Amino acid sequence: MKKSNRKQFVIYSRKSKFTGKGESIENQIELCRQYIATQYSRQEADAALVYEDEGFSGGTLERPQFKQMMQDSKKQRIDAIIVYRLDRISRNIGDFAKLIEDLNEREIDFISIREQFDTSTPMGRAMMYIASVFSQLERETIAERIRDNMSELAKTGRWLGGTTPTGYESESISKVTVDGKVRKACKLKIIPEEISLVKTIFEKFVEFGSLTKVDQYLLESRVPTKRGKSFTRFAIKGILTNPVYMIADEAAYEYLTENEVDLFSEKEAFDGVHGIMAYNRTLQRQGKAQQPKPMNEWIVSVGAHEGVIPGKTWVHVQNMLSLNKSKSYRKPRSNVALVSGLLRCKACGDYMRPKLSNRVNAKGEYIYSYLCATKERSRSCLCQMKNISGNLLDAMVIAEIKKLGEGWDGSDYAKHLTEAKKTIAGQQDEYDAEIASVREKIAANEKEIKNLVATLAKISGSVSESYVLEQIGELHKDGEALRNRLSELEALNAQNELTDLEFNLIRQTLASFSGTVDEMSVQQKRNAIRSLVKRIVWDGADVHLYLLGSTGDDEIPDLTTESFDGFLEPLCEDSK
C-alpha cells in the first residue's frame, strides 16, 4: 500500500481576553485553515488539529492547551505548527528560542502566516528570531516604564494600597497643589496596640534567637494576628523581615546602601523618626506563591510613616535569620506513617503529625503516634487532644479501604460518588464563569495601565503628571485584588475538580487495593490512600474518615476506636 504524502498540520491560537471580532480565536483558526488550503490542500486544512487558549498571556508558555499540544506532538506525527501571528506563541525570546530548537530537533516546522515566516527555510528561521527579539523588546519596554512609574511613586514615600502591615492602618491625606486642585494620597498610621505586638515579636526573637520559640510564646500567651488567627512561623518571619518597621537612621542607610537597593532618598532624609517604604520586594505570579526578590531589585525610600524598630536592631534580626537559614539541615529519621497531612485534630482543627519512638512492636516496626501540632507547639496550653497510636490507626484505615473495594458496582459509595460528581460539575460551571469574568477585568485593567503609561510619557513634567501617577497606583491596587481573586477561584476549581479520569482512577484503585496493598512500598500506600481519602478527623474517641467526592459531613460509618484502649497514652520520654 502506498504511503500517504499528506501532511499533518496543527493550528494553535491564543487570545489574552475574549472578543468576538478582530483577531479572535475563531478568526485566527479560520485564517490558518485558509493558508493551509491555499499552500497545500483543502483536505489537509480540514484535517488540521486545533489547540486554543483563551484568557492567557503571551508572556509565558504555561498555558493548558499549548502544553497539551506539545505533549501530543511527542506521541503522534506532526509536520508543522501554524499560528496566525508570531506573538500568539510567545513574547519571551528565551521561551521562543527553546521552542524552535525543540521543534527543529523533532523535524516539526513552525509557520507564522502574518509575518510569512517558515522555519523550513534558513531565511525563515533567521527572520523568526529577529521578530521574536522585537516582540521581547516591546514587552521589556512596557515593564521598564512600569518600573519607572514605581520609582516615581517611591519618591513620595506613600502607601500604595493593599493589606496594611500589622501595626499600621492606611490614612488618607490631602494636599492642595499650586493650581488649586486637591491631590489625595495615603500614608501609614500607627495602631498603638498592634505596634506594641510588633515590638514584642522583635524583642522575643532577639531574646530566643528562634522562630519556633517565638511561635510557642505567642501561642501560650494566646496572642492572635490582626485577623484573629493564631500566629505561624511564616507570619512571624514576615513581620521580622518587613523593612516598613525599620527606623530610617544611620544604620538603616548603611545597610540599604551596602545591599545596593535602588534608593530614592538622600542620606539627610534618614532622620531617625520615619520608617522605610520598600516597593518591588516580591515576585508575584498568577496562581503561585509570592517569592522574595533580591535586595538589589528593591525600590526604597524613606516613608511618610513613623518607624518603630531601630535600624541597628532590624539589621541584627536579619543577620540572625540568615544565620539560622544557613545552619545545616538535619534530615529527619524516616518513618512509615501513612496518613500525615490527612489527619486533623477535632478539638482545634490543626493537623496531627507522626512522632516516632525508639521502641519496636512484635512485628519489628517502630512504634509511632500521631499528635496535634498545636498541642506540641503550645506545650499542651491550647489543645489537650489525646495522642493516637499511629500503627493501629494506619492499619484501620487500610482495612476500611479494603472493604470499600469489595463489591464496588452497586455499592453506596459508588452511587454517592456519582452524585457528588454531578454536584461538583455544577459548581465548576459557576467558577468557570466567574474566572472568565475576572480575566476580562484583569485584561481591561492592564490595558488601562498601559494607556496611562503611554500618556505619562507625553505629559512628563506637567502638572497633570502627578494625577496620572495616582491613577496608575489605584489601578495597580485593583489589579492585585483581581489577580488574588483569580488565584482563589482557580484553586477552588482545582480543589473541587473530579474528572471522568479521576473517577475511573478511584474505581481502579479500590478494585486493586485489597490484592496489592501488602506488596506496596510506604510511599505507594500513601499515594493510594490520598487518591481515595479527603481527610481524617480524630476526636479523642473515634476516627472519622471522609472520602474523596464526599460532601458536607458524609463519612464512612462505624469507624470507631473501641480497640484503641491502651494506645492513647502520651508519648514516652525516648520519643523523637
Longest CA–CA separation in the chain, Å: 88
Tens digit of each residue's pLDDT (9 = 90 or more) over 360-410: 888 778 889 999 988 888 888 888 999 999 999 998 888 888 877 665 555
Q: Which of 221, 220, 164 is nearest to 195 (CA)?
A: 164
Tell the burial category of 333 from Cβ atoms under 10 Å away from its Cβ (0-12, 13-18, 19+). exposed
Q: What is the mean pLDDT of residues 438-454?
A: 84
Is the distance from CB of 33 to CB of 45 less than 8 angstroms? yes
What pLDDT does 567 receive?
36
Residue 226: partners with Cβ closer than 8 Å, 6 or more residues away: 166, 194
β-partners of residue 51 are: 12
CB contact at 8 A, 307 and 273: yes
Average pLDDT value over all residues in the chain: 77
Residue range 32-76, pLDDT digits in tens: 999 999 888 999 999 999 998 887 777 777 888 998 999 888 888
Cβ of 447: how many Cβ atoms within 10 Å?
12
As given in the structure block, the three cell numbers for residue 423 are: 454536584
**Which residues have CB under 8 Å from 407's CB, separation 6+?**
none
Instruction: Note the pLDDT of residue 146.
Output: 57
Q: What is the dihedral of CA 546, 549, 551, 555, to 10 degrees?
A: -30
pLDDT tens digits along 449-495: 888 877 776 776 676 777 777 788 788 788 888 888 887 777 766 65
Q: Which residues contact 486 (CB under 8 A, 6 or more apart)?
A: 286, 287, 435, 438, 439, 442
**DSSP one-letter string for 397-430:** HHHHHHHHHTT-TT-HHHHHHHHHHHHHHHHHHH
pLDDT of residue 346: 93
Find the mean pLDDT for residues 105-113.
86
Residue 311 has pLDDT above 60, yes or no: yes
- When pLDDT is cut at 50, 70 and 90, the band that residue 328 belongs to is very low
More confident residue, 547 or 411: 547
**Rounded mean pLDDT, 5-33:** 78
Residue 569 has what pLDDT?
34
For position 561, what pLDDT does the model report? 44
Whether pLDDT at 242 is above 60: yes
User: Could you give the residue ranges of the DSSP H alpha helices within 157-272?
Assistant: 192-208, 211-220, 233-240, 250-258
Check residue 58 and give left, alpha or beta (phi > 0: left; psi -120 to 50: alpha).
alpha
The confidence score (pLDDT) of residue 570 equals 34
* Residue 324 in grid coordinates: 539560622
Range with the lowest mean pLDDT among 13-17, 27-31, 341-345, 544-548?
A: 13-17
Please give the grid coordinates belonging to residue 103. 521543534
Provide the 3-class DSSP secondary structure of residue 368: strand
What are 264's strand-pairing partners? Answer: none
d(CA 333, CA 335): 6
The cell for 221 is 500567651
Whether the pLDDT of residue 20 is over 60: the answer is: no
Domains contained in the chain, CATH given? 9-144 (3.40.50.1390), 168-326 (3.90.1750.20), 338-576 (no CATH)
Residue listed under C-alpha cell 510588633: 198
How far is residue 395 from each of residues 206, 221, 284, 400, 517, measured CA to CA in Å? 45, 38, 43, 9, 11
Q: What is the per-residue pLDDT for 297?
A: 82
Distance (Å, whole) CA 124 – CA 449 = 35
What are the cell numbers at 441? 477585568
If you write DSSP's letter for every residue of 556-571 in order, what string do you get? Answer: -TT-B-GGGTTS-SPP
pLDDT digits (tens, 9 = 90+) for 153-208: 555 667 766 788 999 998 877 654 545 555 667 888 999 989 999 999 999 999 98
Which range (83-97, 189-203, 252-266, 468-482) has the least confidence?
83-97
Nearest to 173 by CA among 187, 157, 162: 187
d(CA 177, CA 158): 17
- pLDDT at residue number 315: 93
Q: If DSSP codes are grouped into helix, strand and coil, which group holds residue 184? A: strand
pLDDT level of residue 334 (50, 70, 90 thresholds) = low
- Chain centroid to CA 1: how far? 54
Q: Is it the case that residue 300 has pLDDT exceeding 50?
A: yes
The pLDDT, as a whole number, for residue 157 is: 64
pLDDT for 563 equals 40
How many Å apart are CA 182 and CA 226, to the nearest integer? 33
